[in-house]
Structure 1
Amino acid sequence: MNKLITSIQNPFIKQLSQLKDKSRIRKKEQTFLIEGLREIELAIKGNYDIETILFYADLFSEDQLNNLVNKDVNVIEISKEVYQKLAYRDTTEGVLAIAKSKQHHIYNLEFKTKTPLILIAEAPEKPGNIGAILRTADAANVDAVIIANPKTDLYNPNIIRSSVGCIFTNQIATGTTTEIIDFLKLKNINIYCAILQESVTYHSQDFTKPTAIVVGTEATGLSNEWRINSTQNIIIPMQGEIDSMNVSVAAGILIFEAKRQRNFN
């Protein structure tokens, strides 16, 4: 018999509501909420430790529940009112999970190939952009995504939602720009920075060797530290009236040029 919680005034539910809304609570507790069946399945596939499953029985069946959980996972049935309190989306399947956060230290990265392809974004702030970058990275099956000088908590529900769970499918690290540049140099990884200054067209470069492609925000671009430490600065030629594009779009163009050169391997 599963435990049942029906009131949004329940102390545990109030705690989960804070976990959903507040980065400092997520960091303190080292846990976060996942919403949606596909996202939870991807987290399990990504070796995330699922502590608790919460489900609304009118939307999520016992059969689905049995296929999702093992005996070590705590299961709680919740009412419609509680589900609506905790869920961001009305269209999800009536299931949420509490998972343990992972550590994303840069020196924990492991590469399965001698010519890794890495996507780096410096100081992205908008969860939607971060989610789109993670989707691009998953589509290209890059070896790692690194967030330099992160401005947003990786386990922000909007990042999980906009990445459609790709936060769990990518190998992700965070660090300062200085730490990341030191790491790349130590590993002999070429650094290609999307910067206007001292740049050449992106398709003129050889991305088949160990490669890090680095993008910045539309508003401020990349910091000067990247510019002076790059193997080569690169540019996507612009043929319209504006001189920049969305960071996730730029990342997609550059990463898939690298994949094309590698025959999509």
Structure 2
Amino acid sequence: MHSTKHISSAQNPLIKKALLLKEKSRERKKTGLFLLEGMRELQIANRAQYEIATIFYCENILVDAQNNTFLQSFSADKLISVSNDVYKKIAHRDTTEGIIAIAKSKDHNLSLLKFEGSNPLVLIAEAPEKPGNIGALLRTADAANLDAVLIANPKTDLYNPNIIRSSVGCIFSRNVRMGSTEEIIEFLKKGGFQIYCAALSASKDYTTVEFNGPTAIVVGTENSGLSEDWLNNSTQNIIIPMEGEIDSMNVSVSAAILIFEAKRQRKLNT
């Protein structure tokens, strides 16, 4: 490895900075930087043209020659080897690959959203709070190759380490934008989107509606569902019929069912 620096003390200023980025949303927002962990996550972020500022690696853990080759594609001044103790200090995961990087966050403002095609399919999540759910939604969006994921009234820092971990790096591969519910509704209306809201009231079975034009699938939290603003502006509320004792599923599971029904219909019409 062609790094020129080694850190063996957790008191090193750069290590202290990495710890703050891992633990404090305020620090991530103030600096515009975040911590990502894992070779796959780093590779996805790199392909998505995230600016990588620093890469920490632990040679005792990093054993794959292919991984070494990838790291050598970065300039030497960005590569810093660290001791086992230092690595364990800044690592977020119990199982790890010996790679942690500091990267620069992107601007996720809704005003920057543009679509490559003329018939976009997007997922909207209103006020999601649980990092695990957000990560799972992003993984589904990646699996379905959605045109965008819009987060309305965000309550959680997008670069929370738990979101990065649970999304398996899909936070970097997807076109993620954020805005208020009002801003997103206005954006969708201007774009001629059908707005399908997952809701219990005044709903149709999701298999009976058409998802073939520009379409937004909107999901809310499991506790409170969607706000009145969404329900009042919905093209049609849709529901997944429940055949058991409960009347709802995990939001990421529900979103996956709706998204892949939309994908199925669109394939039939191509």
Which TM-score band applies after superposition, normalised by the shorter structure?
Answer: over 0.9
Whether the aligned pair in 1 keeps the contact of 2:203 and 2:236 (CA below 8 Å) is: yes
Secondary structure of 1:243's aligned partner: coil
Alignment gaps of 5+ in structure 1: none
1:5 maps to which of 1, 4, 7: 7
The one-letter code of the counterpart of 1:173 is: R
1:80 maps to which of 84, 90, 94: 84
Say whether residues 1:213 and 2:200 are aligned partners: no
Residue by residue, what CA displacement relative to the aligned partner does 1:53-84 show, whole Å, maximum 9, x if unpaired? 11001112595334233227611111111100
Say whether residues 1:34 and 2:27 are aligned partners: no
The CA distance in 2 between the partners of 1:44 and 1:14, in whole Å, is: 24
Q: CA deviation at 1:113?
A: 1.2
Say whether residues 1:43 and 2:54 are aligned partners: no
Question: Which shows bigger deviation, 232-241 or 35-44?
Answer: 232-241
Secondary structure of 1:20's aligned partner: helix
The CA distance in 2 between the partners of 1:90 and 1:196, in whole Å, is: 40
Say whether residues 1:179 and 2:186 are aligned partners: no
Residues 239 and 73 of structure 1: CA distance in aligned 2, closer, same or farther (over 3 Å): farther
Say whether residues 1:144 and 2:167 are aligned partners: no
The CA distance in 1 between the partners of 2:7 and 2:190, in whole Å, is: 52
Q: CA deviation at 1:102?
A: 0.2
In the other structure, the counterpart of 2:198 is 194
Whether the aligned pair in 2 keeps the contact of 1:125 and 1:152 (CA below 8 Å) is: yes
The CA distance in 1 between the partners of 2:113 and 2:220, in whole Å, is: 21
Say whether residues 1:15 and 2:17 are aligned partners: yes
Task: Percent identity, please.
Answer: 60
The CA distance in 2 between the partners of 1:99 and 1:65, in whole Å, is: 19
Secondary structure of 2:173's aligned partner: coil
The alignment of Structure 1 onto Structure 2 pairs a total of residues equal to 265
In the other structure, the counterpart of 2:57 is 55
What do you get for the CA RMSD once the two structures are aligned?
Answer: 1.4
The one-letter code of the counterpart of 2:95 is: T
Say whether residues 1:238 and 2:232 are aligned partners: no
Superposition TM-score, scaled by structure 1 size: 0.97
In the other structure, the counterpart of 2:163 is 159
Residue by residue, what CA displacement relative to the aligned partner does 1:224-250 show, whole Å, maximum 9, x if unpaired? 000000111111111111111100000
Secondary structure of 1:160's aligned partner: helix
The CA distance in 2 between the partners of 1:62 and 1:93, in whole Å, is: 9
Residue by residue, what CA displacement relative to the aligned partner does 1:209-235 show, whole Å, maximum 9, x if unpaired? 000000001100000000000111111
Residues 72 and 108 of structure 1: CA distance in aligned 2, closer, same or farther (over 3 Å): farther
Alignment gaps of 5+ in structure 2: none
In the other structure, the counterpart of 1:111 is 115
Secondary structure of 1:213's aligned partner: strand
The CA distance in 2 between the partners of 1:36 and 1:202, in whole Å, is: 37
